[in-house]
Structure 1
Amino acid sequence: MAVVGPVTERWAPEQAGPVHENWQLAAPIGPATDLWALGSLLFRAVQGHAPYPEESTAELVQLVCAEPPAFAEECGPLRPVVESLLRQDPTERIDFEELRGWLRSLVRSAPEPEAGLNVVTAPPVDARKLPVIRRRGELVRRRRAGLPAHHGRHKQAKEDAGSPRRLGRSLLLLVLLAMAAAIAYAMLFLPKSGEDAPESTDRTGTAGQVSPAPSAAGEPDADQDAPKPEDQDGTESAPTTETQTTGPDVADGFTLAKDPEGFQVAVAKGWQRTPKNGSGQVVYSKGDFELIVVPGRDSAQTYGSDPMAYQRDDERELQPYRDSSWATSTGLKTIEVGGRTMAEGQFTWTGNGGELYVRNLAVLIDGRFHVIQVRGPEAERDEVTRLHQQAADTYRYTR
């Protein structure tokens, strides 16, 4: 709805009806929808305005479903065609064959346009009075100088010296000379490759020290360093955060949290963690922003193996979107990377604290769905996108 906007041609009643119920964009229904669009376009072209008010999309879709369009009073012979195309019941609109015949009949019976009185008859053409071809620049210069314009082909040497063609040649010559001078300077004065160059080093750090090359055998195992979910006394251990040095890239201002629930994810510095709740969610939050991680709560055996269907119909974290009377969804797509299938989308809905903007990712890992979701104010879309991108790019299930 945000992309299309309040355009009557797009919102046929059979399309606006589903939108009015749950604010989700309906797919084109069929040929009757195209007939509605044609009727709206003809109405707009002849009347000069749309058949419905177009101040807002919400008002437009409600009016399309509830009210008939404005009368096509100024459409003349086209009025019955336009009003037949704009009937709210798609089954009552004329079909294409009937419409084609109707339009052909109107075209054939249309009278020739009347010229009226505002017609100026062109004088007869005299071949002897054809215009003289001249250079416009020369004529303009003479008029500005107050001199009479000469129409002959012969030009004086002084006039030719100041012509645009001579000026162009001079500029081209100056450009070529400048390029030749630059090439000569580069050949004579710039040092050649390999001369007086500082000794090169490999993998030099910021302090001038050479760092050793990474060794696969010397890298620590992520599973060995991960904290255990529970201590020996049975209590849940606190999550650990560490600045990223190996593995997925972590941007400045983020730390890689190794969570006791068996996953790691990049979290903005200073965020607070809430232990896993009854819905299987681990929440990191600060201010109006929340990062919700669900590490494998729901199984594909119960909800199917399509992450897009799971995200759309079953994911609990998006239930407020389904329940809201004003909600939108965009950017829905399915991604397959490295044998894993995931679905992502962007959602907005109205909550207790105002309108929320939500980035969501549902990933199927070993037969279970994992959710990485970031929520924030609708006015902070860029920040929500930045936080979610870091979390989605660095999420790893370590169990």
Structure 2
Amino acid sequence: RRSAASRRPGARGGGPRSLGRTLVGLVLLALTLVVLYAMWFMPEADSGGGQQRGSLGESSERGGDSGGDPDGPQGRGGDKDEDTGDGDSGGADTDSGKQPSEGPGSGQLPEGFAMHEDAAGFRIALPEGWDRRTVPSSEQVRFDRGNFEMIVVNGRDSTAKYGKDPLAYQSDKERELEPYRSSGWSSASSLRRIDVGDTAMAEGTYTWEDESGRKVYVRNRAMIVDDRYHLVLVIGPEDEEKAVDRYFEGAVDTYQPLS
């Protein structure tokens, strides 16, 4: 019995040592596996990551291309400057995004336009082939071709009578915009004042339904020169916005009173 009893403590003492060796072996095995994983798999992950970043960059470029085509139906930002047709397709962006850097008459002559010096006392670039007529009762000079019309008023109204705020004049008092104010179907947008040196100007984009029921799209600028209001408007069909924008932007900065 004593012999058996003396052996039992020895057996109990061997259990923890065996467990410790097992744990140490497991830890070493785990470390070995980690090192092997790092050696064999990490380079492939880096390589794959580099390829993934490259593919994401290409995807971003394609996304930019698909969403930024200025000639597409959604690409309104560049339609105005890039359209060179006569209005067969209409854009929708009503904000010109273009501000004159100098006063009246500072604009460059665009392609497809010719400089016109008018007997009414002003100079302006006109689209080639447009016809001229006058409306003496309203002191307007009109140029037109097809469904498009440009109206020029050379200093008819004075600031002494209508005030020196071109934006208020454009919105409330300009006779050429009376159809907008009286129409049951109308809208106004991109209304802004522009001050260049001593010249105060206002611009706006309008739509209205005229007396014949036609819906029109209109770009307007009113400018004060020598205490008098000078006006340039371009009017066209509502679905021909790009052409109206092109005609207006090609002409308006070239307008210059001569007297």
TM-score higher than 0.5? yes
Contact 2:219 2:234 in 1 (8 A): yes
Q: 1:343: Cα distance to partner?
A: 1.0
Question: Which residue is 1:316 aligned to?
Answer: 175
From the two aligned structures, give the one with the greater strand fraction. Answer: 2
Is residue 282 of structure 1 aligned with residue 141 of structure 2?
A: yes
Give the counterpart of 1:168 among 46, 65, 70. Answer: 46
- Taking the TM superposition and a 5 Å limit, the aligned residue runs for 1:199-238 are none
Q: 1:155: Cα distance to partner?
A: 2.4
Relative to 1, partners in 2 of residues 1:168 and 1:326: Cα closer, same or farther, differing over 3 Å? same
Q: TM-score, normalization: structure 2?
A: 0.62
State the structure with more CA Rg.
Answer: 2
Relative to 1, partners in 2 of residues 1:383 and 1:161: Cα closer, same or farther, differing over 3 Å? same
Number of aligned residue pairs: give it. 176
Give the counterpart of 1:370 among 230, 235, 247. Answer: 230
- Taking the TM superposition and a 5 Å limit, the aligned residue runs for 1:1-399 are 152-155=30-33, 160-165=38-43, 168=46, 248-351=107-210, 352-399=212-259
Tell me the distance in 2 between the aligned counterparts of 1:290 and 1:321. 16
Encode CA deviations 1:253-304: one digit per residue, 9 max, x unaligned: 1111111111111111111111343211100111111110000111112212
Contact 2:203 2:222 in 1 (8 A): yes
Q: Secondary structure at the match of 2:253?
A: helix
Q: What letter is aligned with 1:288? A: N
Structure 1 gaps, min length 5: 1-150, 173-245
Q: What letter is aligned with 1:395? A: Y
Encode CA deviations 1:218-269: one digit per residue, 9 max, x unaligned: xxxxxxxxxxxxxxxxxxxxxxxxxxxx963111111111111111111111
Tell me the distance in 1 between the aligned counterparts of 2:141 and 2:124. 11
Question: Which residue is 1:101 aligned to?
Answer: none
Q: What letter is aligned with 2:134? A: P
Q: 1:367: Cα distance to partner?
A: 1.2
Q: What letter is aligned with 1:336? A: D
Q: Secondary structure at the match of 2:239?
A: helix
Q: 1:165: Cα distance to partner?
A: 3.4
Q: 1:170: Cα distance to partner?
A: 10
Q: Secondary structure at the match of 1:309?
A: helix
Q: Secondary structure at the match of 1:379?
A: coil
Root-mean-square deviation (CA, aligned residues, Å) is: 2.5
Q: What letter is aligned with 1:383? A: A
Encode CA deviations 1:114-162: one digit per residue, 9 max, x unaligned: xxxxxxxxxxxxxxxxxxxxxxxxxxxxxxxxxxxxx934228875543
Relative to 1, partners in 2 of residues 1:271 and 1:152: Cα closer, same or farther, differing over 3 Å? same
Q: What letter is aligned with 2:243? A: E
Tell me the distance in 1 between the aligned counterparts of 2:135 and 2:121. 12
Relative to 1, partners in 2 of residues 1:170 and 1:290: Cα closer, same or farther, differing over 3 Å? closer
Q: TM-score, normalization: structure 1?
A: 0.41
Tell me the distance in 2 between the aligned counterparts of 1:379 and 1:170. 51
Tell me the distance in 2 between the aligned counterparts of 1:360 and 1:170. 58
Relative to 1, partners in 2 of residues 1:289 and 1:169: Cα closer, same or farther, differing over 3 Å? closer
Contact 2:131 2:144 in 1 (8 A): yes
Tell me the distance in 1 between the aligned counterparts of 2:48 and 2:143. 70
Q: Which has the higher contact order (CA 8 A, sep 6+)?
A: 2
Q: What letter is aligned with 1:318? A: L
Q: Secondary structure at the match of 2:108?
A: coil
Relative to 1, partners in 2 of residues 1:353 and 1:272: Cα closer, same or farther, differing over 3 Å? farther
Tell me the distance in 2 between the aligned counterparts of 1:345 and 1:268. 21
Q: Secondary structure at the match of 1:328?
A: strand
